[in-house]
Amino acid sequence: METASKNIVLNVNGEFIADPFAPSISAFDRSYLYGDSLYEVVRTYGGRFLYLEEHLVRLAKSADLCKMKLSKPLSFYAQECEKSLNAFNTLNAPKLTEAYCRLVISRGTGKIGFGTENILSGPTFAVIVQPLNPPTPEQWEAGYRYGVVDRWRNEKRALDPAAKTGNYLNSLLAYLEATNDGYQDALLCDSAGFLTEGTTFNLFYVKRDIIVTPPFSSGILDGITRRTVIQIARRMGLEVREVPFPKERLYDAAEIFMTSTIKEVAPVVEIDGRKIANGKPGKITRRLKNAFTEYSLARSEKEKKS
């Protein structure tokens, strides 16, 4: 435990916990009982958070979708994330280690029972900060091999994928099914057979230099990276279409890539065991990855000066 936890900072309800793997949240917390919680993952660039505000705005949307009342303003959670990042940076000083930060907010702790009258506390929160583990240059060049699983993405009328909640069991099972079949991760379709997204990432393909991605209305998470990449691509003069498509469209794509906070923009070179084009990262994927990193580093520098 000692080695595994030595780089991790855990802040539970404002208190730092010395042993992050020791119990610190009640078994009666609703996140544990029902997955009744929300979360966000944000990372650092040059040791500072970037896109934190966008993530907190999405958190507020998730709270609305889950009828969860946050007892504190978003600025409070931003401060708790900053406080935890400072502790992480101090722990790693003088070396600069980029951080992964996960903020989890649960509806609270209380007696068993769905009704909110059972809750005895206000919302509980935890901030976990640990070293960021992005793809290595070798992993990026090798690209990812994904499988489209049988399991559907949650329907919007079930648990709306637009809410980033602590209830990821559907995606987790999709991941286990795909990895069990030898793929590195899973893509999920909706009940009509249109692709939605991956377990923890958004999906794009390129054909005849046009970039295509499932629309937000298809029931996906409104990825911060997806949104930023679409803006960057359009600014670069590339055409981006947000339209539904079935999995067969991927098989003869010129390029496929995924986006997420941790992996930024990364190539997908195989789908369902079929090689995509020449099985190597495509040129638009590479341009977008470079443009996204450049944009993020520049924005981080600008925010540092202001």
Ligand X SMILES: Cc1ncc(COP(=O)(O)O)c(C=O)c1O
Residues that bind ligand X (CB under 6 A): 41, 197, 200-202, 221, 223-226, 259-261
Q: Is-contact 188 196, C-beta < 8 A?
A: yes
Residues in the chain: 306
**Residue with smaller CB distance to ligand X, 124 or 260:** 260
CA separation, residue 270 to residues 44, 142, 223, 252, 277 (Å):
30, 10, 22, 11, 9
The phi and psi torsions of 68 (rounded to 5 degrees) equal -105, 130
Question: Does the bond joining 94 to the residue before it have cis omega, within 30 degrees of 0?
Answer: yes
CB of 272 to ligand X, least distance (A): 20
Residue 302: exposure state from Cβ atoms within 10 A (0-12, 13-18, ≥19):
exposed
**Residue with smaller CB distance to ligand X, 160 or 303:** 160
**Residue with smaller CB distance to ligand X, 172 or 298:** 172
Minimal CA–CA distance to 12: which of 143, 147, 121?
A: 121
**Residue with smaller CB distance to ligand X, 222 or 303:** 222
**Residue with smaller CB distance to ligand X, 41 or 91:** 41
**Residue with smaller CB distance to ligand X, 197 or 255:** 197
CB of 220 to ligand X, least distance (A): 6
Strand partners, 105: 38, 125
Give the pairing of strands 239-242 and 210-213.
parallel
Q: How far apart are the C-alpha atoms of 108 and 56, rounded to whole Å?
A: 19
CB of 27 to ligand X, least distance (A): 26
Residue 216: exposure state from Cβ atoms within 10 A (0-12, 13-18, ≥19):
middle
CB of 224 to ligand X, least distance (A): 4
Q: Which amino acid is at 71?
A: S
**Residue with smaller CB distance to ligand X, 110 or 223:** 223
Q: How far apart are the C-alpha atoms of 135 and 137, rounded to whole Å?
A: 6
Report the Cα 3 to chain-centroid distance in Å.
Answer: 26
CB of 10 to ligand X, least distance (A): 20
Return the structure tokens found at 40.
């966000």
Q: How far apart are the C-alpha atoms of 157 and 150, rounded to whole Å?
A: 19
Block residue for tokens 């900060």: 129
| Angle between helix 74-92 and helix 52-65 axes, rounded to 10 deg | 130
CB of 52 to ligand X, least distance (A): 12
**Residue with smaller CB distance to ligand X, 30 or 226:** 226
CB of 19 to ligand X, least distance (A): 27
CB of 201 to ligand X, least distance (A): 5
